């Protein structure tokens, strides 16, 4: 029903940028929420940012001002532009989607990609 495929990860130096992409294959729906999560080894999964079908977005404090989430509805794609990367941004990044409004923080995402690795060295 819903397939998500991430790409764009890699290894960079601190201060550099990366752009992650997520191709979303989903039957058209009137309302949805898409998000980026990350998980570093030995740490809990952390939500990085989310964006609603109306384009409104929110960010975690750890990435606010450095990362930008965006979507291209014509290309069925979700993006995460990551600037001024830090070693603590090193993690596997996952995109997620579901058919609820992003304002519902009690809802869990049912659809996930397999992730793409981001490694930032100092």
pLDDT in tens, 60-92: 999 999 999 999 877 789 999 999 999 999 999
Tokens of 2: 């819903």
Can you give the pLDDT at residue 28? 57
- pLDDT tens track for 46-61: 999 999 988 899 999 9
- Residue 85 burial (10 A CB sphere; 0-12, 13-18, 19+): buried
- The mean-pLDDT minimum among 7-11, 15-19, 72-76, 86-90 falls in 72-76
């Amino acid at each position: 029903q819903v397939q998500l495929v991430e790409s764009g990860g890699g290894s960079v130096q601190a201060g550099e940028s990366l752009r992650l992409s997520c191709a979303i294959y989903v039957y058209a729906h009137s309302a949805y929420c898409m998000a980026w999560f990350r998980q570093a080894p030995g740490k809990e999964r952390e939500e990085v940012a989310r964006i609603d079908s109306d384009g409104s977005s929110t960010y975690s404090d750890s990435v606010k001002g450095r990362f930008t989430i965006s979507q291209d509805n014509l290309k069925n794609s979700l993006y995460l532009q990551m600037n001024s990367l830090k070693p603590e941004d090193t993690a596997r990044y996952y995109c997620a989607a579901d058919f609820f409004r992003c304002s519902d923080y009690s809802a869990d995402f049912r659809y996930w990609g397999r992730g793409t690795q981001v490694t930032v060295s100092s």
